[in-house]
A and B are shown apart, each in its own frame.
Chain A
Amino acid sequence: MPSAHDRGGLATREPIDQTTHEWADWEHLVNALVGVLRRHDLINVDELRRGIEAMAPAEYESSTYYERWSASIEHILVEKGVLTTDEIAAATREIDANWE
């Protein structure tokens, strides 16, 4: 049984959905954030990939593309001690509070 990211050859009859969506602002942000973090030598392409591949298979399957990148950025930055899970959670709650 291959890992969740290893899709080549997995059986499916699903047609290829050729519609494209406009990136949401947060998707632009995630994409660009990786570029900025690379420039600062805080994440490289292989680390980004490892972070994606480290996701639990169920989350990998149910996440959108840039949600997977977001998960990986968090994984790598926490692993390196750049940020902590607690402060990310707190900052996320602040964003939530702005909604109410």
Chain B
Amino acid sequence: MSDDPAHPGLQHDVRLSERAKRAQAIHRLLVSKNIIGPDEVAEVIERVRTRTPADGATVVARAWTDPAFKTRLVEDARSAVLELGYRLSHDAGLAVVENTARIHHLVVCTLCSCYPTALLGPPPDWYKSFAYRQRAVVEPRAVMREFGLVLDEGIPVRVVDSTADLRYLVLPRRPIGTAGFSETELAELVTRDSMIGVGEARAPA
């Protein structure tokens, strides 16, 4: 038993922290004072649930199959993504950095958790953890190894620090053995982690 339909967010089966309760109190006050509508929060919750890394994967697959799009994506990610019909709710800039045989990018937000949520959904818990935020800029290769990515020592690593004004998305390397794959088939190989830089795109089965 969790949700009271009249009060979304109120869980009866868990002891909540003071901050959790205060957030619910703030929500109730805002609704009761007609500052926000009674259903607005529930609507946003539903919309957020629909956001997954699949949209980012579609953008990557397009870049792999359309060189002109890739050029536009790397030069002006925001316009290129809007061109595909995605909505970027954030006023913040978006930058796409390309991983190649000569450079590997890893994304972190050392200050908090800035992340291209419009294309990837909410960031995973580890992206927001102190350990990742602290270590990614100091020992990126060790961090990547923890995620199972052992990068060739000859490939330099560039760590990019996302901010509230500029969020990074990694364009991973296209896996070998995928010539002739459709965009849909390619998109299935693109993982969330490969778009953060802690992983690579999956090899085809």
Secondary structure dominating the interface of A = helix
CB pair B25–A91 under 8 Å, yes or no, is yes
CB pair A29–B3 under 8 Å, yes or no, is no
A87, B22: Cα distance in complex, Å: 10
Given A10-B134, A16-B129, A45 and B92 contact (CB-CB distance below 8 Å): yes
A6, B134: Cα distance in complex, Å: 9
Interface size class of A (residues with CB under 8 A): 35 or more
Given A25-B3, A26-B11, A8 and B133 contact (CB-CB distance below 8 Å): yes
B9 to chain A: which residues have CB within 8 Å? 25-26, 28-29
A7, B48: Cα distance in complex, Å: 27
0 or 1 for each of B25-45: is its CB under 8 Å from A? (1 = yes)? 111111000011000111011
Given A8-B133, A9-B138, A12-B134, A35 and B28 contact (CB-CB distance below 8 Å): no
B122 at the binding interface (Cβ < 8 Å): yes
Given A8-B161, A17-B126, A82-B35, A29 and B18 contact (CB-CB distance below 8 Å): no
- State which residues 1-60 of A face B: CB under 8 Å: 5-12, 14-21, 24-33, 35-37, 39-40, 42, 44-46, 49, 52
B152 at the binding interface (Cβ < 8 Å): no
CB pair B164–A95 under 8 Å, yes or no, is no
0 or 1 for each of B2-18: is its CB under 8 Å from A? (1 = yes)? 11000011110010111
A64 to chain B: which residues have CB within 8 Å? 17
A63, B130: Cα distance in complex, Å: 12
CB pair B108–A8 under 8 Å, yes or no, is yes
Pick the contact of A33: B23, B129, B131 (CB < 8 A): B23
With a 10 A CB-CB cut-off, give which of A17, A30, A40 has the most chain B CB atoms. A30
B3 to chain A: which residues have CB within 8 Å? 25
Pick the contact of A36: B2, B10, B44, B130 (CB < 8 A): B44
Pick the contact of B24: A10, A11, A95 (CB < 8 A): A95
Q: A19: nearest residue on chain B (CB-CB)?
A: B125
B150 at the binding interface (Cβ < 8 Å): no
B20 to chain A: which residues have CB within 8 Å? 24, 26-27, 30, 66-67, 70
CB pair A5–B131 under 8 Å, yes or no, is no
B204 at the binding interface (Cβ < 8 Å): no
B194 at the binding interface (Cβ < 8 Å): no
Given A17-B126, A29-B45, A92 and B134 contact (CB-CB distance below 8 Å): no
Q: A87: nearest residue on chain B (CB-CB)?
A: B29
B90 at the binding interface (Cβ < 8 Å): yes
A45-B90, A92-B22 given; 7 more Cβ-contact pairs under 8 Å: A25-B10, A26-B20, A31-B122, A33-B26, A37-B36, A67-B19, A70-B23
